[in-house]
Amino acid sequence: MENLKVLLGKRIREFRKANSLTQEQLAEKVGIGTNNISYFETGRFTPTLETMEKIAKALNKELYEFYIFTPQKTYEEIKSELIEKISSSESLARQLYNFYKNL
């Protein structure tokens, strides 16, 4: 498993990009230097709790969301994977259909 600092940095970068912000723009919103954002995103340094709270607010996220390290798939990735699995197994397709009918 990757180092916690690296994983946290990847989440910060992921959320920053999802908000269409540059490192400079995020740094300005948080009130820190651009280099700090770069250091956080690469796992070189870990932000303090106070700074993490500011980053979360700037990115419209809850603090806990930065610590969910399981890969988050896009809707298209999920749909594609499900279609592939269902197409290759009649039994699975029937089970999922029965599940769907009971929703």
Please list the rounded mean pLDDT of every run of 10 residues in the chain (103 residues).
85 95 98 97 96 98 91 82 92 91 88
> Would you state the pLDDT for residue 2?
66
Residue closest to 8 by CA, chosen among 36, 46, 35, 38: 46
Q: End-to-end alpha-carbon separation of the chain, Å?
A: 37
CA–CA gap between residue 86 and residue 73 (Å, rounded): 18
Q: SS3 string of 40-71?
A: HHHCCCCCCHHHHHHHHHHCCCCHHHHHCCCC
